[in-house]
Amino acid sequence: MKQILIVEDETRIAAFIAKGLKAKGYNTTIVEDAETALATPFSCQFDLALLDLGLPGQDGLTVLETWRGQGVSFPVIILTARDDVMDKVAGFKGGADDYMTKPFSFAELLARIEVRLKASNNSQQNQAKMQIQQGNMILDLRTRKIYIGDREVELPAREFTMAEVFFRHPGQVLTRQQLLDLVWGYDYDPGSNIVDVYVGYLRKKLGSTSIETVRGMGYRLGSG
């Protein structure tokens, strides 16, 4: 069930939104001031936030900019009485995904929420397709880096290509000839020990057990 954060100091409006969203199958959390809003996203997992700008303590725009600066990535829809163009521009520049002014139609708000949730879900799915995880190692095809726990490893092109081959064939023993074909194509000397050299490079950077030797057969992806 999707979790919606409502940051709104007007109790009547917050209750109206929460009631409508609950009827549509959403869970909601209401906070009424900036200080709580700044702390809440890190203690709970939310899929989207509705953010008023006129909050007690600090302005809602400050909350939004702080969230984005701290890595909060869920969609944020600003819901405010401020209808000036410059306020809207500031909201989008601060990291808002959408901007609605009060008074508003709940049907329109719901439609905008559904659009943002769908876009966010598609983005997460696309990102997942760009990553391959094996054990505690994640190979990111977009950044061309490998993440091992909290450690980030950047590889030269050929080493990354070899690592990708191993990640795409988990548990499979790959012969030297297969690795030559998949990583180097026709650009290699069949009599060289280039495969063994590059396996050594990967072990130094990913861990001594990242690539296992299967005697007399070849190599396979290990535990990192």
Contact between 56 and 32 (Cβ < 8 Å): yes
Contacts (Cβ under 8 Å, ≥6 apart) of 88? 99
Tell me the CATH number for domain 3-129.
3.40.50.2300
Structure confidence by residue, pLDDT tens digits, 5-27: 999 999 999 999 999 999 999 99
Query: Rounded distance, CA 172 to CA 166, Å?
Result: 8
Structure confidence by residue, pLDDT tens digits, 107-165: 999 999 999 888 767 666 656 567 888 888 999 888 888 999 889 999 998 899 899 99
Query: Rounded distance, CA 54 to CA 60, Å?
Result: 6
pLDDT at site 80: 93
Written as one string, the DSSP assignment of 66-100 is HHHHTT--S-EEEEES---HHHHHHHHHTT-SEEE
The pLDDT of residue 68 is above 90: no
pLDDT at site 17: 95
Give the start-to-end residue ranges of the domains of the chain.
3-129, 132-221
pLDDT at site 182: 84
Query: pLDDT grade, residue 192 (50/70/90)?
Result: confident
Q: Average pLDDT for residues 37-42, to the nearest whole number? A: 83
Say whether pTM exceeds 0.85. Answer: no
Structure confidence by residue, pLDDT tens digits, 70-100: 878 889 999 999 999 999 999 999 999 999 9
pLDDT at site 143: 84
CATH class of the domain defined by 132-221: mainly alpha
pLDDT at site 127: 60
Query: Rounded distance, CA 173 to CA 166, Å?
Result: 9
Q: Which residue has the tokens 């000397």?
A: 189
The pLDDT of residue 210 is above 70: yes
pLDDT at site 126: 58
CB atoms within 10 A of CB 11: 10
pLDDT at site 124: 63
Contact between 219 and 213 (Cβ < 8 Å): yes
